[in-house]
Amino acid sequence: MDQSIVVTGAVVRVLDTKSTGANDFKSRALHLKTEGQYPQTLEIQFNQGNITLLNDLNTGQKVNVTVNLKGREYEKEGNPLVFNSLVAWKIEKLA
């Protein structure tokens, strides 16, 4: 089951669209700086049809981004590794 959360912050940058694989899978990333006592810069992925949600964003603009937390595990040289990602499906511009 996916876990959805809303992340609030300011746009640092929007990266170019990447296309991979035989099925031409498209993804685009947003770098977002959170607010609060200990701000964090997060990379948030937008995939396929959701990449267009990033078209009209400006650096410094405040937004709410709804993301699903994704994780996957695999083994490398007998050691288990886990990778996490934030995959967005909604973005709301704030005033």
| Nearest partner of 43 among 56, 27, 58, 55, judged by Cα | 27
3 state DSSP class of 49: helix
Q: Is 60 helix (H, G, I), strand (E, B) or coil?
A: coil
The reported pTM is: 0.87
Compute how many other C-beta atoms are within 10 angstroms of the C-beta atom of residue 67. 23
Degrees, nearest 5: CA angle 31-45-51: 100
Provide the b/e sequence for 44-61 (b: ≥16 CB within 10 Å).
bbbeeebbebbeebeeee
Residue 46, phi then psi, degrees to nearest 5: -120, 130
Predicted confidence at residue 3, as pLDDT, reads: 72
pLDDT in tens, the chain (95 residues): 567 999 999 999 999 999 998 889 999 999 999 999 999 999 999 999 999 999 999 999 999 999 999 999 999 999 999 999 999 999 999 97
For residue 86, the SS3 value is strand
User: Which structure tokens are listed for 49?
Assistant: 């049809």
